[in-house]
Chain A
Amino acid sequence: MIRVVLPAHLKTLARVTGEVTLPVGAPVTQRAVLDALEAQYPMLRGTIRDRTTQQRRAFVRFFGGEEDLSHESPDAPLPDAVAAGAEPFCVVGAMAGG
């Protein structure tokens, strides 16, 4: 199972409190994880990636295994620790002041 950590606003929207766990078959990629996430929580569609282009929204970042995965190809395999469920795949809202 893949572990996913959502930012607070998306937890509220999805009506979850802690980590989300998702069954994702190999190869475990950003696209596969996000497809599974949106299938389980359809209200998240469009909030992490654009509904039409499927590109990551500009102010959303992806972290995993202490790496910033935001600029990796959505079809690149995620780090082994994330794919094995040892580390979560983190969806993060970019920091902003004001």
Chain B
Amino acid sequence: MSGVRVLVGTRKGAFILTSDGKRTEWDVAGPHFGGWELYHLKGCPTEPDRVYASQSTSWFGQLVQRSDDGGQSWEPVGNDFHYEGVPGTHQWYDGTPHPWEFARVWHLEPSLNDPDTVYAGVEDAALFVSRDAGSTWQEISGLREHGSGPAWQPGAGGMCLHTIVLDPNDEQRMTVAISAAGVFRTDDAGATWRPINRGLHSEGIPDPDAEVGHCVHRIAMHPSSPDVLFMQKHWDVMRSDDGGESWHEVSGNLPSDFGFAIDVHAHEPGTVYVVPIKSDSEHYPPDGKLRVYRSRKGGDEWEALTNGLPQSNCYVNVLRDAMAVDSLDECGVYFGTTGGQVYASPDGGDTWAPIVRDLPAVLSVEVQTLP
């Protein structure tokens, strides 16, 4: 029977949760790298036992670890992330120019085809690639240097490149998202980039419809419909049907359209999941009820999924990289909370149960479906 491996990054280490296809009994391994922040772990689509992990602390900086046995053992690989050329400046919180400074790796995105190629989204916002399994990293500097970079500003969490969407039908196309700059796309494998934020409207910036400056939290795509993108923006759930050329709001009847995480059902390209959060100053669910919302119509019409989730006195957050789906016949949905719970639904969100309840604050959740 096939199974799943859930890769969990937390404030104080990484945990690996495994189960068979029933997804009712779980083995919990960890902490790996105890005491370190694990912003993200992700496995290679073509070589599932190869897993990359971003490990950092304020004390000792950034490391990247690689496992070739599904997370049982790890080797530190390259951690030299230097910007190409003279990196120049972006805007600081007070509007003054501020030099680009590397802080950490927020997100690792292995290539869909080559296990030795992996992309890294970093703070201060830039995109790096390794073509030797993490040993060395080169900046894809066309993004930072395409023109709008000097106008980018950090959000409260830093100026991070946190989302990397690879087009399964077109190796040349890649879409990334930056807080608080917006969405950018390349159609020539990273040589040139342009902002694709038309239709985004953000009240918290001087020009609500500006070309850049939007605090995009996360983008999700179903591989069978790469032109359809779903976005959880700071406020607003958005959708694009043309690869990001234009966006329209699909928040519909959500109790709050603020949030971080968003994902798409593995087998239903029009079924989308979000976790509404009360507001940007109250990072917890509305009414103390932890509810995943599912739209089976690609947005606008949402239903609350509550079976098995706490419906009173719940004041946790679900961060942008902390939701994932598996691709078993009955799609599993997973998310982790800042309260240390990792919840799993083996039936597309109809019912939920915690896999673990008392981990450190969860930063990221990724799922591998194993043969």
Contacts and interface: CB of A to CB of B under 8 A. Distances in A.
Given A13-B76, A52-B82, A47 B61 contact: yes
Contacts of B57: 9
B79 A57 contact: no
Contacts of B58: 58-59
A41 to B, nearest CB: 10
B36 interface: yes
A54 B82 CA distance: 13
Contact of B60 (A51, A52, A93): A93
A6 to B, nearest CB: 10
Contacts of B270: none
B82 A43 contact: no
A26 B76 CA distance: 31
Nearest to A43: B76
Contact of A9 (B59, B79, B82): B59
A47 B60 contact: yes
Q: Chain A contact residues (Cβ within 8 angstroms of B): what range?
A: 10 to 19
A58 B80 CA distance: 18
A34 interface: no
Interface string B18-49: 00000000000000000110000000000000
Contacts of B59: 7, 9, 57, 59-60, 93-94
Interface in A10-54: 10, 13, 43, 45-48, 50-52
Contacts of A10: 60
Q: Residue among B58, B59, B76, B80 with the most chain A CB within 10 A? A: B59
Given A59-B59, A93-B59, A51 B36 contact: no
A7 B60 CA distance: 10
Interface string B70-105: 000000100110100000000000000000000000
A48 B60 contact: yes
A47 B36 CA distance: 12
A1 to B, nearest CB: 25
A88 to B, nearest CB: 19
A59 B60 CA distance: 8
B10 to A, nearest CB: 15
A45 B61 CA distance: 10
A51 B101 CA distance: 12
Interface in A49-69: 50-52, 57-60
A93 B60 CA distance: 8
Contacts of B79: 45-46, 51
B102 to A, nearest CB: 8
A43 B79 CA distance: 9
B63 interface: yes
B80 A46 contact: yes
Nearest to A51: B80
B295 to A, nearest CB: 39
B317 interface: no
A46 B36 contact: no
B345 interface: no
A51 B76 contact: no
A57 B60 contact: yes
Nearest to A47: B60
B62 interface: yes
A93 B61 CA distance: 12
Q: Residue among B60, B63, B82 with the most chain A CB within 10 A? A: B60
B60 A9 contact: yes
Interface string A79-98: 00000000000000110000
Contacts of B82: 51-52
Q: Residue among B36, B58, B61, B79 with the most chain A CB within 10 A? A: B61
26 contacts: A9-B35, A9-B36, A9-B57, A9-B59, A10-B60, A13-B60, A13-B63, A13-B76, A43-B76, A45-B79, A46-B62, A46-B63, A47-B61, A47-B63, A48-B60, A51-B80, A51-B82, A52-B82, A57-B59, A57-B61, A58-B58, A59-B58, A59-B59, A60-B60, A93-B59, A94-B59
Given A9-B57, A46-B61, A46-B62, 11 more contacts: A9-B35, A13-B63, A45-B80, A47-B60, A47-B63, A48-B60, A50-B61, A57-B60, A57-B61, A59-B58, A60-B59
> Which A-B residue pairs are the 5 nearest by beta carbons?
A47-B60, A59-B59, A43-B76, A93-B59, A46-B79
